Amino acid sequence: VLSKQTTEQYAYIRHCNKTSAFSSTGIIPVVDLSKPEAKTLIVKACEEFGFFKVINHGVPMEAISKLESEAINFFSLPNNQKEKAGPPNPFGYGNKKIGENGDVGWVEYLLLKNNQDYNSMRLSVFGQTTDKFRNVLNDYICAVRKMGCEILELMAEGLNIEEKNVFSKLLMDKESDSLFRLNHYPPCPEMALDNKNGENLVGFGEHTDPQIISLLRSNNTSGLQICLKDRSWVSVPPDYNSFFINVGDSLQLSNVQYLGLVGDPQVMTNGRFRSVRHRVLANGFDSRLSMIYFGGPPLSEKIAPLPCLMKENEESLYKEFTWFEYKKSAYASRLADNRLGHFEIF
Ligand code: GA4
């Protein structure tokens, strides 16, 4: 359990309206990776939600709990100690501020890169334990990346793409621009006092992830919500033992030829894979701790519809660009912006 004092450092609270209408439903697809129908279910879930839950994922519970306890130790440190590992430009500890363009949330976090020199990034707040932290993180990332590749290969199979590793090779590339994030959402005492007239505090504002795929797990505290095609929000019941998978912008792009008319986001939802809008609401009583691996391509990789998925005479709806260019534009945007819009041809 994270200490109560960690919540007191926050001075500002941001509310959003109309959260009372959000319902918690059982509609989120569950994919059992050990079952033969997994590939079909994955494609279906990516089309319908851009989101699904994975069970029998093969990531050892030990790797998960070890990293989780390192994370709890870190976030339980006094504020001035944690700040020593910041600011998160581009990697390190961040508190409340998200990105560089004015977004804030009821969250503190660590943005990390695999195989990074944690001593040089002042994560030496871990002191003697830096090496341990590095090992625990590496074990976790290796296991989670393996699961991610398995999912991406099943996805390629489900799409009848001959080259099974067409997506997974991007994560396996030694230049892969992947990153890792630990998020701690402290309980918000104010929200526990009364129901704030159904208002909620934003932990992490709505957005899509720019990368290919995001692999998330959390403790048993709720908060995550996803946006459906009809633009309603649903809560994702937390599940300590499962992973949650988000389709990112880059994966949506590789499938653009399936999208409908250009320019109308509603029409885009007739398309193939959805880059899912999601957000996290703060909780009145419990700490939420989540860990997310963002699988990205090498910076020089072209983001474009896969030729093998293009029909004859079909043209791409998007300008051709590299992951470097897309990422640069994404990092210059606000969290809630529609980032793909900048790259539409018409
Ligand atoms: C969303 C996905 C990842 O958490 C992240 C985020 C990044 C950040 O926190 O610095 C961004 C956000 C994310 C997209 C738009 C820009 C950049 C904050 C923001 C306002 C690390 C990422 O790669 O893009």
| DSSP calls for 101-168 | TTEEEEEEEEEE-TT--TTTTTGGGGGGGHHHHHHHHHHHHHHHHHHHHHHHHHHHHHTT-S-TTTTH
Q: Which of 179, 181, 207, 334 to mutate to test the pocket of ligand 1 (most atoms within 8 A of CB)?
A: 207
Cα angle for residues 289, 90, 334 (degrees, 5° grid): 80
Q: Which ligand 1 atom is at minimum distance from the Cα of 337?
A: 15
DSSP state, residue 212: S
Q: Which of 108, 275, 294 to mutate to test the pocket of ligand 1 (most atoms within 8 A of CB)?
A: 294
> Which of 145, 181, 279, 288 is an active site residue?
288
Q: Which two tokens stand for residue 18?
A: 């109309």
Burial label, 111 (beta-carbon count in 10 A; 0-12, 13-18, 19+):
buried
- What per-residue confidence (pLDDT) applies to 270? 34
Atom 23 in ligand 1: residue holding the nearest Cα: 210
Of 290, 340, 105, whose CA–CA distance to 205 is shortest?
105
Cβ atoms of 328 and 303 closer than 8 Å? no
Atom 12 in ligand 1: residue holding the nearest Cα: 335
**Which helix (DSSP H) or strand (DSSP E) does residue 344 occupy?**
none
Going residue by residue through the chain (346 aa), what tens digit of pLDDT does each one get?
344 444 433 333 344 433 333 444 568 999 999 999 999 999 999 988 999 999 999 999 999 999 999 999 999 999 998 998 889 988 899 999 999 999 999 999 999 987 666 655 555 555 556 778 888 999 999 999 999 999 999 998 998 888 899 899 999 999 999 999 999 999 988 776 665 555 678 999 999 999 999 999 999 999 999 999 888 999 999 999 999 999 998 887 665 433 333 333 322 323 478 889 999 999 888 999 999 999 999 999 988 777 666 666 666 666 778 899 999 999 999 999 988 777 776 6
Using CB distances shorter than 6 Å, the residues near ligand 1 are 98-99, 101, 103, 111, 181, 207, 209-210, 294, 330-331, 333-335
- What per-residue confidence (pLDDT) applies to 194? 60
Single-letter code of the amino acid located at 310: M
